[in-house]
Amino acid sequence: MNLDQRTTEYRAYLEDCLKEFYAQFHDQPQKRLFSAVEYSLLGGGKRLRGIFALEFCRMCCGHWKQAAPFAGAVEMIHTYSLIHDDLPCMDNDDFRRGRPTNHRVYGEGIATLAGDALLTDAFLLASTARLPQPEMMSRAIELLARCAGSAGMVGGQVLDIMSEDRELTEREVLDIQSRKTGELIRAACCLGVLAGGGSQEQLDGAAKFAADLGLAFQIRDDMLDVIGTREEMGKGVGTDAGKNTFVRLYGLEACEELVRTYTRRAVEALEVFPDSAYLTGLAESLTRRRV
């Protein structure tokens, strides 16, 4: 197993699936909407959430392509959250993934609708999955909706906005970030297990991996806002100053140690999978990521 080779293969396959999904709408007259959707969806990104879905499926002995509709769906929901997060009514950011943000190119109205379309279309794509146990489909859709919705990612964003003018406790920051970042990662990992026909024990392992990896990922994200450069990140840095980040809570040095600790815990949760070498390597590489 070569880490870079498998990552490249997964990314290329995901890219094709997403392109193919939107190709079905190419005869529709609302071309500006699809242009805005594709601008953000096919405009780069690490594709980590999609890769998690494909790899968890493979680790459960399913063929990884079985998880493609779920992998595509989580990438679409992730992209919608970034488009909306960048809007003037949210973070008001001008750059994302090395390019002007969606609303800077298409205007706020179309950018908002592109996000709405991506969220809704994600469920259309997810509905095309063919699970080894078809009765698990409703569980999969419920999981995706719960993780992305009001008690998950959107809920985390709301709690974040509501607490902008006060300093949060450690417990509150952990709760908000687990929802904002961790829940969609949990959906990706657990949907991969469902697509691969994994056991309840493997589903629990995937959820535990996601919870710890999500925190490691967000702590590193907060660190990169301080130590990263705009060129590396493809977006503005230093924009979190004064916000309730992990760096504010613990300081840079302790954050570095925490990223390693949460990553180690995430990797430990993979013991219920027979071949977790690729995912272990990927998780460890994220502790050093610069983007």
How many residues lie near ligand GRG (CB under 6 A)? 16
C-alpha angle with apex 186: 202 to 270, nearest 5 degrees? 35
Contact pattern for ligand GRG over residues 99 through 128, marking x by CB under 6 A: ------------------------------
Q: Which residue is nearest to ligand GRG (CB)?
A: 45
81 is an interface residue for ligand GRG by CB under 6 A? yes
Q: Is 154 in the site for ligand GRG (CB under 6 A)?
A: yes
If one asks whether residue 245 binds ligand GRG (CB under 6 A), the answer comes out as no
Q: At which residue do the structure tokens 């509150």 appear?
A: 172
DSSP type of residue 28:
S
Nearest to ligand GRG of 131, 246 (CB atom): 246
Does 71 bind ligand GRG (CB under 6 A)? Our answer is no
Chain residues 174-233 in contact with ligand GRG, contact rule CB under 6 A:
180-181, 218, 221
Q: How far is the CB of 24 from ligand GRG (least distance, A)?
A: 24
Any bridge partners for residue 99, and if so which?
A: 96
Q: Does 139 bind ligand GRG (CB under 6 A)?
A: no
- DSSP conformation letters of 235-273: S-SSTTTTS--HHHHH-HHHHHHHHHHHHHHHHHGGGGS
- Cα–Cα nearest to 69, from 141, 135, 4, 5: 141
d(CA 96, CA 192): 27
Among 11, 65, 97, 139, binds ligand GRG (CB under 6 A): 97
Question: Taking CB under 6 A as the rule, does residue 48 contact ligand GRG?
Answer: yes
Give the Cα separation of 117 and 40 in Å (integer). Answer: 12
- Residue among 33, 157, 172, 280 that touches ligand GRG (CB under 6 A): 157
H or E stretch at 148: helix 137-148
First to last CA, the chain: 24
As measured in angstroms, the least distance from the Cβ of 271 to ligand GRG is: 25
31, 46, 63, 230: which one contacts ligand GRG (CB under 6 A)?
46
Which residue in the set 9, 15, 38, 85 belongs to the binding site for ligand GRG (CB under 6 A)?
85
In angstroms, the CA 36 to CA 105 distance is 8
Minimum distance from residue 195 beta carbon to ligand GRG (Å): 21
Q: Please state, in angstroms and rounded to a whole number, the distance separating the CA atoms of residues 270 and 56.
A: 10
Single residue of 37, 41, 68, 82 touching ligand GRG by CB under 6 A: 82
Closest approach, Cβ 200 to ligand GRG, in A, equals 28
Q: Which of 45, 62, 182, 198 binds ligand GRG (CB under 6 A)?
A: 45
10 Å Cβ neighbour count for 288? 8
Instruction: Give Cα separations from 140 to 69, 203, 208, 210, 231 (angstroms).
Output: 11, 12, 17, 16, 38
Interaction of residue 50 with ligand GRG, rule CB under 6 A: no
